[in-house]
Amino acid sequence: MNNIIVKAQPKSITTESTKYCPGCGHGIILRLIGEVVDELGIREKMILTAPVGCAVVIYDYIFCDVVECAHGRAPAVGTAIKRVHPDKFVLIYQGDGDLAAIGTAEIIHAANRGENMSVIFVNNATYGMTGGQMAPTTLIGQKTTTSPSGRTIKGMGKPIRVCELLATLEETKYLERTSIHSVRNINKTKAAIRKIFQNQLNGIGFSLVEILSMCPVGWRVSPTEAVQFIEEQMLSYFPLGVYKDTE
Amino acid sequence: MAENNTGSDTKRVLMKGNEAVGEAAIKAGCLCYFAYPITPQTETPEYLARRMEEENLIFLQAESEIAAINMVFGASAAGARVMTSSSSPGISLKQEGISYIAGGELPCVIINVVRGGPGLGNIEASQADYFQSTRGGGHGDYRCIVLAPNCLQECYDMVMNAFDLADYYRMPVIIQSDGIIGQLVEPFEMHPYEPMFEKLPPKDWALTGCAGRKPNVVRTLFLNPPNGLELHNKKLDEKYKKIYKELRWAESFNCDNADLIIIAYGATSRIAKSAIKRHNNNGKKIGLFRPKTLWPWPDIELIEIARKNKGVRFLVIEMSMGQMLEDVLLSLMDVVPKKDILFYGMGGGWNPTPDLVYEKISEILNK
């Protein structure tokens, strides 16, 4: 613990203390977005879609134009914003219930149309805001309040691998799965965020990063155990890596 | 489209109702249109697919009605004039988005070419979406302005008005068409855009990137401060009260000294008018009261007519089992005995004819 590096607060991030739970991954991802937005100098051209879920009040934490979307509809909302303002930067921020359950149609069709947008997909394998229910990405055997005996393949199906699913659509330009359970992976996640942001700025097209993220309260574990859960349980089912890079 | 160019900016054209609303939108400066095919309104997306490409505007066929209305939400939040259209089952799907648009105080125009329901119902004209349109339709305490054209001239004019009203009051405006009006082909004057207001409020709330200003947020969630949502709903309610004062549109025809006044809107009002004229020619004192705004409902105008015509009876005619009837009863509860308010209608895509209405009136007069 001798090499602690303290970086300055990104200018695009507010000083408001977040309402995220201890050990939650959203705060880390928010910080990474802030750093990349500052580095690319795009705060004043950014329009962010807030999802339904824990990140719904993201406009309290970031200094940019924000639209709060209905559950799962952000890719449709973002599509229209980008069509109206093709010169602006549109960031879609969604969780797993939002993107992979209720908003499945919207994300698939936005991806299939090749909308020139950047999507951050936070996969924490549960519905955090409503208190830890089964999500489309909940692992087999994982206990949640709505799968109290653990998720079973029979009757509940297997977790949806979003990057692999979207990779089948030819108009997706960049798809990567990263994680934030370690410093090394946080740094890789930042690079991936930078990549999908730059793709939009360069007019490349639909780019998404799926980030495996901790939800200790939803998972009913300690923050340390949450990090271990990603390392030991999630990585084997959700392999990290680049699933599509058409450049 | 057949044209008779008179040499001015206005020309007399022959079009279908579903096409007239599309052309009116383009003339009114609609930048974006998002929709999904459904009978009997598909001519609108077909027409706009071609015309918006010609005019270099934004046309997108969405993957669903839900996506289409959320695209409307996004485009409106981005500051654009935007429209969608559908028919009853599709409008049901759009209700989620309409609630967010109303809550977020965003302007947009929605066309409902009403067909029979519930469920898939049928593809005939109907007026069974009156409750849905005038009572909000989605979740929460909100209203939409609802305009009800009964001819193609009004379709064309009201779409232009709808864009202005939406921007002026910052809320969704619904054009309540139906399978008859939408499919009807008749001539009308295609004139340039005529703004309703000298000046519209600036869209300083729109999402355009926050260069040189504080960030804008379009939101419908009000968790805090305490009473945040209560205050928001109060603000909306004050707006709705203002609209009620400023925007009650109705037409009355031969209502002075009438023995019987028909109350009907949209296609039904035209059918009723034909029957009324036949009775008038036979010396019968029959009038017509036609609301042109379904919300706000023109209750004061109706009450005034009732007060002027002591002992008059009313006949509400709708292509539904009696939905506007409830607004008539509420309006007249202190003025006209309930027994003097009669109803003639049928649900499920029933279309009245002038003959049917004529006979119904005769039957009432002979009682």
Please report the number of interchain residue pairs, chain A to chain B, with beta-carbon separation below 8 angstroms: 127
For residue range B288-343, what is the model confidence (pLDDT) as tens digits? 999 999 999 999 999 999 999 999 999 999 999 999 999 999 999 999 999 999 99
Measured CA angle at B105 (ends B99, B108), to 5 deg: 75
Among B168, B190, B212, which residue terminates a domain? B190
Question: Looking at this protein, which amino acid is placed at residue B315?
Answer: L
Give the confidence band of B44 by pLDDT, cuts at 50, 70, 90.
very high
Contact A105 B66 (CB under 8 A): yes
- Asked whether residue A90 is assigned to any structural domain, the reply reads yes
Would you say residue B196 lies in a domain? no
Alpha-carbon dihedral B264, B267, B273, B274, rounded to 10 degrees: -150
Same domain assignment for residues B183 and B103: yes
Whether B122 is in a domain gets the answer: yes
Mean pLDDT to the nearest integer, B50-58: 98
Which of A43, A45, A67 is opposite residue B77, by nearest beta carbon? A67
Asked if A44 lies within 8 A of B210 by C-beta distance, the reply is: yes
Mean pLDDT for chain A? 96
Do A129 and A56 touch, CB atoms closer than 8 A?
A: yes
pLDDT in tens, B331-360: 999 999 999 999 999 987 788 999 999 999
Interfacial residues of B (vs A; Cβ cutoff 8 Å) = 31-32, 34, 58, 60, 62-64, 66-68, 70-75, 77-80, 82, 96-97, 100, 104, 207-212, 215-221, 223
Q: Which positions in chain B touch A105 (Cβ < 8 Å)?
A: 63-64, 66-67
Q: Is B74 in contact with A80 (Cβ distance < 8 A)? A: yes
Q: Are B168 and B26 in a shared domain?
A: yes
What digits encode the pLDDT tens for the residues B95-152? 999 999 999 999 999 999 999 999 999 999 999 999 999 999 999 999 999 999 999 9
Compute the distance between CA of residue B211 and CA of residue B225 in angstroms, rounded to an integer. 27
Instruction: Count up the domains in chain A and report the number.
Output: 1
> Domain for residue B113, yes or no?
yes
Q: Which residues of A touch B63 (CB under 8 A)?
A: 105-106, 108-109
On whether both B259 and B348 belong to a single domain, the answer is yes
Partners of B70 on chain A (C-beta within 8 Å) are 69-70, 73, 76-77, 80, 106
Which of A45, A46, A81 has the CB atom closest to B74's CB atom? Answer: A81
CB contact under 8 A, B212 and A66: no
Do residues B285 and B181 share a domain?
no
Dist CA A138 CA A153 (whole Å): 11
Instruction: For residues B77-89, give the mean pLDDT.
Output: 98
Question: Do B51 and B157 lie in a common domain?
Answer: yes
Helices and strands per DSSP (H, E), number in chain B: 12, 16
**Looking at chain A from residue 43 to 72, which residues have their Cβ under 8 Å from any Cβ of chain B?**
43-47, 50, 56-57, 59, 63-70
Please answer whether residues B227 and B112 qualify as being in contact, where contact means their C-beta atoms are separated by less than 8 angstroms.
no
Domain-located, residue A197: yes
**What is the reported pLDDT for B6?**
54
Q: Using the beta-carbon criterion (under 8 Å), do A77 and B71 form an inter-chain contact?
A: yes
Residue B3 has pLDDT above 90, yes or no: no
Residue B140 lies in a domain: yes
A43 interaction partners in chain B (CB closer than 8 Å): 210
- Residue A122 — pLDDT band, cuts 50, 70, 90? very high
Which of A13, A16, A42, A47 to probe by mutation at the B interface, max B CB count within 10 Å?
A: A47
Q: What is the CATH number of the domain that holds B256?
A: 3.40.50.920
Closest CA to B124 of B267, B20, B19, B269: B267
Q: Are residues B181 and B256 in the same domain?
A: no
Best CA proximity match to A109, nearest among A159, A166, A70, A177: A166
pLDDT at residue B347, as a whole number: 86
In a domain, B237, yes or no: no
Mutation target among A65, A88, A98, A109 for the B interface, most CBs of B within 10 A = A65
**Interchain CB distance below 8 Å, B74 and A77:** yes
The values of phi and psi at residue A230, to 5°, are -65, -50
For residue A35, is it within any domain? Answer: yes
Question: Token digits for A111?
Answer: 């991806």
Q: Give the one of B32, B97, B217 whose C-beta lies nearest to A70's C-beta.
A: B97
Cβ–Cβ contact A142 with B under 8 A: no
Residue A2 has pLDDT above 70, yes or no: no
Q: Are residues B259 and B184 in the same domain?
A: no
Q: Kindly state the tokens that stand for B112.
A: 């409902």
pTM of the entire structure? 0.96
Please report, as a single letter, which amino acid is at residue A50. A
Specify if B142 maps to a domain.
yes
**CATH code of the domain in which A30 resides:** 3.40.50.970
Same domain, B54 and B154: yes
pLDDT score at A5: 72
> Is the per-residue pLDDT at B1 higher than 60?
no
Structural domain of A203? 26-245
Its sign, for the CA torsion B163, B165, B171, B175, is negative
- For residues B212 and A211, what is the distance between their CA atoms, to the nearest angstrom? 32
Nearest CA distance, A134 vs chain B (angstrom)? 24
At A143-177, the pLDDT tens digits run 999 999 999 999 999 999 999 999 999 999 999 99
Tally of structural domains, chain B: 2
End-to-end CA distance of chain B: 48
Specify if A198 maps to a domain. Answer: yes
Task: Output the six-digit token pair for B271.
Answer: 């059918």
| Omega before residue B291 within 30° of 0, cis | no
Which of the 8 DSSP states describes residue B154?
Answer: H
CA-based nearest residue to B253, from B108, B150, B111:
B150
Residues B138, B143, B152, B49: is their CA dihedral positive or negative? Answer: negative
Residue percentage of chain A with pLDDT more than 70 = 99
Q: B93: how many CB neighbours lie within 10 A of its CB?
A: 17
How many angstroms separate the most distant Cα atoms in chain B? Answer: 73
Contact B207 A76 (CB under 8 A): no
State the pLDDT at residue B351. 87
Q: Which amino acid is at B248?
A: R
Q: How far apart are CA A192 and CA A178, in angstroms?
A: 8
User: In this structure, are B183 and B288 located in the same domain?
Assistant: no
Say whether both B263 and B154 belong to one domain: no
d(CA B168, CA B161): 10
CB neighbour class for B235 (10 Å; exposed up to 12, middle 13-18, buried from 19): exposed
B171 and B262 in a single domain? The answer is no
Average pLDDT over residues B19-42: 97
Structure tokens at B366: 């002979």
How far CA B41 is from CA of A200, B60, B359, in Å, comes to: 36, 16, 32
Cα distances (angstroms) measured from residue B299 to each of A127, B162, B250, B303? 48, 21, 9, 6
Nearest CA in chain A to B31: A84
Give the pLDDT mean for A33-43.
97
Residue B2's pLDDT band, with cuts at 50, 70 and 90, is low
Three-class SS string for B256-294? Answer: CCCCEEEECCHHHHHHHHHHHHHHHHCCCCEEEEEECEE
pLDDT tens digits, one per residue of B219-269: 999 987 777 999 999 999 999 999 999 999 999 999 999 999 999 999 999
Nearest CB to B71 within list A65, A79, A105: A79
In 3D space, the residue among A189, A184, A197 whose CA is nearest the CA of residue A213 turns out to be: A189
Determine contact, residues A42/A197, Cβ cutoff 8 Å.
yes
Within a domain: residue A96? yes
Residue B259: domain span: 251-366
Give the DSSP per-residue string, B216-258.
PEE------STTHHHHHHHHHHHHHHHHHHH---EEEES-TT-
Domain-embedded: residue A173:
yes
Residue B218 lies in a domain: no
pLDDT reported for residue B17: 97
Q: How far is A57 from chain B (nearest CA, A)?
A: 9
Q: How far apart are CA B29 and CA B24, in angstroms?
A: 9
Asked if residue A79 is part of any domain, the answer here is: yes
Residues of B in contact with A108 (CB under 8 A): 63
- Report the CATH number that the domain containing residue B138 is assigned in CATH: 3.40.50.970
In a domain, A15, yes or no: no
Task: With respect to residue B114, please indicate whether it lies within any of the assigned structural domains.
Answer: yes
ipTM: 0.96
